Structures are given as C-alpha cells and as structure tokens.
Structure 1
Amino acid sequence: MKILAIDTATEACSAAISVEQKTDSIFEVCPQQHSQKLLPMVEQLLERNEQTLATIDYLVFGRGPGSFTGVRISTGIIQGLALGTEKPVVGISTLATMAQQAIDETQATLIAVAIDARMDEVYFALYRNENNLACLLGEEQVLGPDAVLELLTDKPDVLCGTGWTAYKAFENVVAQAGQPSILYPSSAAMIPLAIEAIGQDNVSDVENIQPVYLRDKVTWKKLPGRE
C-alpha cells in the first residue's frame, strides 16, 4: 500500500509518504507559507521515493480542526491532487494526529490535545491508546479553558498542542502533566490512522471530502456543481 499525506492545519506544514510500510516525511514550522511550501514538499517526497501520484493508492489530508485558512489550503490541495488522479481520499483529524504521534513516541495511555483556537477557546479532545492507535474519547470540541478543565477528570500522561500554554487557566494542568511534548501535527503520524481508516473502508471520493472547523460560523464551499 502506498499513501501520500499532507497537513497544513496549524503553523506547521508537513507531508509524508508511506511505501510498503516505510514512511518518509518532511516537516516545517512556517506560518503563512503553507501554500508555497506544500507542493514542493510533495514533489520532493515522491521523487526521492521513486513514486509518482499515479502510483499512490490513497491520498490523506489533515481535515482539521485548526487554522481556518490552513484547513482550507490542505483541503483545496488534496482536491487538486485527487481530481487529477481519481485517487480515494482519507481525512484525518488534526487532534488525533498529534495524539498518535505521542503514542508513537512515548506509548502514552491517555493523551489530551488542545490547539489554541483564539477568542479564549481551544480545539480540544481526549484520546486513549488502544493497540497503539489514538482512539477518541467523547468528541472533538471547541471550548473555553474552564470547560476543558471540567472534562479533565483523569490526569493525562501527555499534553499535545499550543492551547495548553496559551491560557493561564491551564497552568496547574501543565505543572502536573508536563509541558506539551508535541505542539503541531506531523503528517507522518497520520499514516497509521489512515491505514486503520482504510481498513474500515472510511474512505471518500474527492467530491465528498469534508474539512472540520468545529466553529459553525465557518462554512466550506464544495466543488463547483456539487450541492
């Protein structure tokens, strides 16, 4: 199986390719440069792994939540890649990606992820390690810090994301669990989640992919001619 994954949902931009269970990736923190950086990353990965878009089996993208502009960029680029190749697409949660990276690196059991959503809110979710995969507990939400604290009834093993250091209300959580070990999602961590989704046939064609913003005030326009 050959998978190409991209993510631009946060200040980081990344791409990864998995060829027969071997993963190669590029990661860079480059705010406001995603649209310039991403396609060259993809081209570099394909070239050095002796692949083309035609040989890739599945396209994977970070579906959000995260920066509105960043999520739109990854969604738009994956649309362009999929339209040209008619490849099936898998959307992976930005929050789950960071939790998966924490599992890959530390074998953590309970992971709390919070991305700063501005306006005194964070994109938040809890994940449990089940057979080395990040499994969502409850739902992904956009919440104020006080609401997040009410949900943290158990101390997480690892914190991920920029949200934990963005608000004073989280000082005690950080003091107990430690500084966030992972601030931004990396496409390499999307690969195991994508393989699991593919195995469960959780795959879309390009016309039906959906970004996830969590804030209702943001809407996504589908491809022309699609309702």
Structure 2
Amino acid sequence: MRLLALETATRRLSVALWQNGELIERAEEVPNGGSERLLPWVHELLAEAGLALGQIDGIAFGAGPGGFTGLRLACGVAQGLAWGLDLPVMPVSTLEALALASGEREVWACLDARMNEVYSAAYAVEGEVVAQLMAPVCLPAAVSPAPTFAGGWGVGDGFAGYGELLRARKPDLVGVRADVFPTAAAVLRLAAPEFSSGSALPVMLAQPIYVRDKVALTTAERIARGGAK
C-alpha cells in the first residue's frame, strides 16, 4: 500500500509518503504561507521512492483543529490530488497526530488557537493506537479542561504561549514538550489502518475539523480578554 499525507495545521508544514510500512517525509517551519512547498515535496518524495503519482492508493491529511488557512490548504490539496487520481481520502485529527508524534503514552495535547485560546484534548497512546480520553475543545487556557489521568505529558505549542495557565490546571504533569508538532508521518501512521480496513472516505466527504467556527474577535472581545495574541 502506498499513501500520501499532508499536515499544515500549524506553522510546521510536512508531507509524507508511506510505502508498505516505510515512511519518508519533508518538513519545514513556515510562519506564513507555504502552499508552494507542498506539491514539490510530493514529487520529491515520489522520486525518492521511485514511484509515479498514479501508483498512490490513498491520500490522508491533518484535518484539524488548527489554523483555518492551514486546514483548508491540506484539505484542498488532498481533495485536488484525490479527484484527479480517483482515490479515497482520510481526514485525521491534528491533535491525535500530535499525541502520536510525541512518543508519550499519556498526552494532554494543546495547540495555540490564537485569540488567547488553545485547542486541547487528551489521549492514551499504545503503540500505533491513540485513544481519546478528553474530546477536543477550543477555550481560553485558564479555563480549558485538564485530563484526569495522573501525571502525563503536556505536548504542543499551546504550552509555549500559555504554559503557566495550563500547568495551573494540571500541576502534576510529568513535563511539557512545547516544541512537538503534528506531522504528516504521524497522520499516515494513524491513517494506514483505516485505508487497510476500507474505512477511508470518498473525496467529496473530506472536510476539515474546525472545532471553532469564529476566526476573529471583535474589539470589545479583545479588550475583555486582555488583548488578542
């Protein structure tokens, strides 16, 4: 089985190729934009693997939550490729991919959602299986719910911007890894079993997972929250 994946929900963009369990990836931190990198990376990975685009069996993408522009980018490129090749697609939770990429077993995954909020969820990771313990939410860090497991790791750039507020919600964390990002490789590791089982979706059903529908605060809301970040 040969699969492609795209992950652009954060400032770290990545594209990965899965070929019968072997993974190769291209990634780079891009604070703004980055759309021009994705297709060249796809072709670089295919060339490295000695494959043609027509030999791909499916396309996965990081579906969110995350930055609105990034989510639309990954979904749009995945849909465009899948339409042209008549392939199934698999949306994968960005927070699940973050938890898997961390390599930790109990994970409080938090990504900076801007507007003084974080996307957060909690997971138990066993091998390649990620079990949700706390559903994704988008809330101010000071009121974001904390997982109930003892200890565990805080992972993601939400801890870079709001670490003190989040640690106050769960002071018994073993540690924090704010430099971990969701990756296309982790997206593929989660998506591969779904493709194998026939659970992937027709391309027209692929949609981002926004969690939050509002992309900007009013002036009054920014003032009430102490200024937008």
The interval holding the TM-score normalised by the smaller chain is 0.7 to 0.9
Question: Structure 2 unaligned runs (5+)?
Answer: 216-229
Give 1:54 shift: 0.9
- Show the counterpart of 1:138: 134
TM-score under structure 1 length normalisation: 0.86
Q: Letter of the 1:17 partner, please give it.
A: L
* Structure 1 Cα separation of the partners of residues 64 and 83 of structure 2: 21
The one-letter amino acid paired with 1:169 is L
Distance 1:12 1:113, change over 3 A: same
- The two structures, once aligned, show a CA RMSD in angstroms of 1.9
Is contact 2:157-2:178 (8 Å) kept? no
TM-score by length of structure 2 reads 0.86
Structure 2 match to 1:213: 210
The CA deviation at 1:194 is 0.5
1:91-102 mapped onto 2 (5 Å cutoff) = 91-102=91-102
CA displacement at 1:177 relative to structure 2: 2.9
- The alignment status of 1:152 with 2:147, answered yes or no, reads yes
Contact between 2:58 and 2:82, CA under 8 Å: does it hold in 1?
Answer: no
Task: Tell me if structure 1 keeps the 8 A contact 2:151–2:172.
Answer: no
Structure 1 CA distance for aligned equivalents of residues 135 and 198 of structure 2? 21
Q: Is the 2:7–2:187 contact (alpha carbons within 8 Å) kept by the matching residues of 1?
A: no
Give the direction of change, closer, same or farther, for the CA distance of 1:125–1:176 in structure 2 (3 Å limit): closer
CA distance, structure 2, for counterparts of residue 171 and residue 147 of structure 1: 11
Distance 1:97 1:28, change over 3 A: same
Write out aligned runs for 1:89-128 (5 A): 89-103=89-103, 108-128=104-124
CA distance change for structure 1 residues 31 and 123 in 2, over 3 Å: closer, same or farther? same
Match of 1:4 in 2: 4
| Alpha-carbon separation, structure 2, partners of 1:153 and 1:93 | 21
Give the Å deviation of 1:38. 1.0
Give secondary structure in 1 for the equivalent of 2:143: helix
Q: Matched residues in 2 for 1:131 and 1:204: separation?
A: 24
Q: Taking every aligned residue pair, what percent have the same amino acid on both sides?
A: 33
**Shift of residue 86 of structure 1?**
0.6
Aligned in 2, Cα 1:132/1:156: closer, same or farther, shift over 3 Å? farther
- Cα–Cα, structure 1 residues 174 and 187, in superposed 2: closer, same or farther, change >3 Å? farther
Secondary structure at 1:146's aligned position in 2? Answer: coil
AA of the residue aligned to 2:153:
V
Question: Is this contact kept in 2: 1:111–1:156, CA < 8 A?
Answer: no
Question: What is the number of residues matched between the two proteins?
Answer: 213
Q: Which runs of 5+ in 1 are unaligned?
A: 219-227
Cα distance between partner residues in 1 of 2:213 and 2:29: 28
Give the Å deviation of 1:199. 4.0
Deviates more, 1:118-127 or 1:151-160: 151-160
Amino acid at match of 1:62: G
**Partner residue in 2 for 1:223:** none
Q: 1:34·1:70 contact (CA, 8 Å) conserved in 2?
A: no
User: CA contact under 8 A between 1:165 and 1:171: conserved in structure 2?
Assistant: no
